[in-house]
Structure formats: C-alpha cells, structure tokens
Amino acid sequence: MQAGSWCGLRVSRLRGITRLSPLLCDSAAPEEETDGRPLPPGWRSYTSPEGQRYYINCVTFPLPGEGPEQQLLKPNEWSYCDYFWADKKDPQGTTSVAGFEVLLQKQLKGKQMQKEMAEFIHERIKIEEEYAKNLSKLSLSPLALQEEGTLGEAWTQLKKSLHDEAEVHLKFSNKLHTEVEKPLLTFRGDNFKKDLKKYDHHIADLRKQLMSRYAGVEKARKALADRQKDLEVKTQQLEIKLSNKTEEDIKKARRKSTQAGDDLMRCVDLYNQTQCKWFEEMVTTSMELEKLEVERIEWIQQHLRQYTTLRHETDMFNQSMVEPVDQLLQNVDPSKDRELWVKENKTSEVRPVDMDI
C-alpha cells in the first residue's frame, strides 16, 4: 500500500483501545453517557459528521458495536496487526500494558526460551560426554578377561562394542554442540534487544506526538467554546440594550470566534495526520515483529529436527555395534568350546586300568 492508505482504514478497521502507559490523556475525565449507557473511565465522546466517536487515551475510535462492521487488515491470518490495539490488564486489573508492549514482550520471551533450549541441549551434551567416558572406561575392564572359546570371543566383542559406542556418543555430543546448541545460542545476538528498543522508542515517540496534538485540539476546542459564548453574550446584550456594545464589537467577537474555529480545524487536521502516521507505523512494525517470530520458530524447528536426526543416527550406529555381538552370541557352541578347551589343556588320553596281581 502507498503511504496514507493504511490511514484510510483507521476508523473503519481499528478495534479496541490503545494506551500509552503511564500517560493517560483522559484518566481524570468524568464518565459520560450515550443513549443511556455509561462510558468506561477514560472515554470521552464527541459527534462528527460521520457519527459518534470516542477518544480513548488520546486515540480516536468509533463506538464499539456501532456503525459498519470493521474488517480485518489481514483476514484469516491472525496477524499481529489486527489484534493488539487494546490494552491488556494485569492479573490484578490495576494496571494495563499497551498492545504493542505485549508484542515486544513476546519477542523477549522468545529470546529467553531460545536461550533455555540451548541450556537444555548443553545439559544433554554433558550427559552424553559423561556417558561416553564411562563406557570407554568400562570397555577396558579386566573382568572376565580369561573367558575362552566362542563365548570368550563374544565377550571380547561385547567389550569392544562399548568402546565403539563411546566413540559414537562422543561424536553425537560434538555434533549437538556445533549443529544444535551453538546455532540456538547465536541466533539473534545482543543487537536484537537494541533493535526492539528502537521499535519501542519509535512507537512511544509517535504516541507522545499524538498526545501533544490531542492536547492542542482540546485547548482549541475550549477556546472556540469560550469565543462562541462571548459572542452569544454580547449579541444578547445588544439585543436587549443592556450594554453599550456596538455592532463593531459584535463583528470583532464574531471574527475571534471564526478564528478560533479555524484554529480548531487546523489542530484537528494536525492530530489526524499524527494519528495516521502512528497507525501506519503500528501496522508495519507489528507485522515486522510477526515476521521475526516466524523466523524464530522456523529456526528452532530446523535445529530441533537436526537433534532428532542426530539421535536416530546414534541409534543406528549403536545398533551396528551390537550386531557383531549378536552374531557371535549366536555362534556360541558349548560343544565347540569344550573341544577347544580339551585340546589345549588335556594331560593324557590314556585311562587308568585295573591293577593285576
């Protein structure tokens, strides 16, 4: 969209309330009523040529539930730019967090979750390294070293498989570090938080400008009311001859009233321009944060899938280490072992006989 095109959707497409904490333009304003219904605290109504509008913390909204139904900017996408115009109350309901702040906190939470996932993988690496160390140590054990025959061969192969398995787990831990842990740690470095602060400050500055423009409108509105009242009083006094005011005085009061009306129109125009810019920046920046979140999830998904791939590879390697042991165990033959042992250890094939007299 071209610049300003988002603004054309400002009234018809916005939903909810936007607040810039802790500055509340209307926090002290009394509650008003419309059609017999009380307005929430901080709301102030006025009537435009298009119908009733409401100021909520210096932002103009249509009355919720009235007028044409607002259409989403990105229908069916659950986009950030459509759902974070309102404040979010804390659990106690005492303070509110602006919708844009909720989006920023989501980014920071994502960064923390990414860090904790890396810590989890690091702990797994430590376990794998310790496991590999213990397997290697056990493979050198002299226990049952003197077992012989086919059973001895199977036992020797079993011990060797422990050493090979230790190597597999050590390689697995190394790959976990380079292909999973390190990418999780390095994805979006220290500058990421600085970038988020830039977004935060930019939107906050626009809201401050909007608040200033709002204050200007309120001041101009009051000035116009005062000028109109002064004109009305002078006109009445002239009509009933209670004053020495001349037609020139009336003309002067009318000029001031007209000037005050022009000033109000100018302030409203400046306010609308500022709100338009804030609206555009809210939409584009929230969509940028949405894009960052998609990138984060896809990045983590990619490397957790790498974790499962490495894990499957480790299982396959371990299985290949066990297969020779299985084969040799199948070949264990007690008769063969007895034959081998007898041939090596026999003392004599001559049997004793009876003694003759």
The CATH number of the domain holding residue 150 is 1.20.1270.60
Name beta bridge partners: 48: 51
Q: What pLDDT band is residue 342 in, cutting at 50, 70 and 90?
A: confident
Confidence at residue 59, expressed as pLDDT on a 0 to 100 scale: 82
What's the one-letter identity of residue 292? L
Phi, psi of 133 (to 5 degrees): -60, -45
Whether residue 352 is contained in a domain is answered as no
How many Cβ atoms are within 10 Å of 265's Cβ, its own excluded?
13
For residue 293, with 0-12 CB atoms within 10 Å meaning exposed, 13-18 middle and 19 or more buried, which class applies? middle
Whether residue 250 is contained in a domain is answered as yes
Confidence at residue 346, expressed as pLDDT on a 0 to 100 scale: 87
pTM of the full structure: 0.74
Whether residue 354 is contained in a domain is answered as no
Distant-in-sequence, close-in-space partners of 298: CB < 8 Å, separation ≥ 6: none
Q: How many CA atoms lie within 13 A of 330 on its CB side?
A: 6
The domain in which residue 140 lies consists of: 5-345
The more confidently predicted of residues 28 and 145 is: 145
pLDDT tens string 57-73: 788 877 767 667 788 99
Q: How many domains does the chain have?
A: 1
Whether residue 317 is contained in a domain is answered as yes
Whether residue 351 is contained in a domain is answered as no
Name beta bridge partners: 88: 97
Confidence at residue 97, expressed as pLDDT on a 0 to 100 scale: 79
pLDDT tens string 218-229: 999 999 999 999
Confidence at residue 39, expressed as pLDDT on a 0 to 100 scale: 54
Q: What is residue 181's DSSP assignment?
A: I
Whether residue 157 is contained in a domain is answered as yes
Q: What pLDDT band is residue 298 in, cutting at 50, 70 and 90?
A: very high
Phi, psi of 126 (to 5 degrees): -60, -40
Q: What pLDDT band is residue 352 in, cutting at 50, 70 and 90?
A: confident
Whether residue 356 is contained in a domain is answered as no
| Angstrom distance (rounded) from CA 294 to CA 182 | 20
Whether residue 357 is contained in a domain is answered as no
H helix or E strand, kind and range, residue 285? helix 247-330
**C-beta of residue 180 within 8 angstroms of C-beta of residue 121:** yes
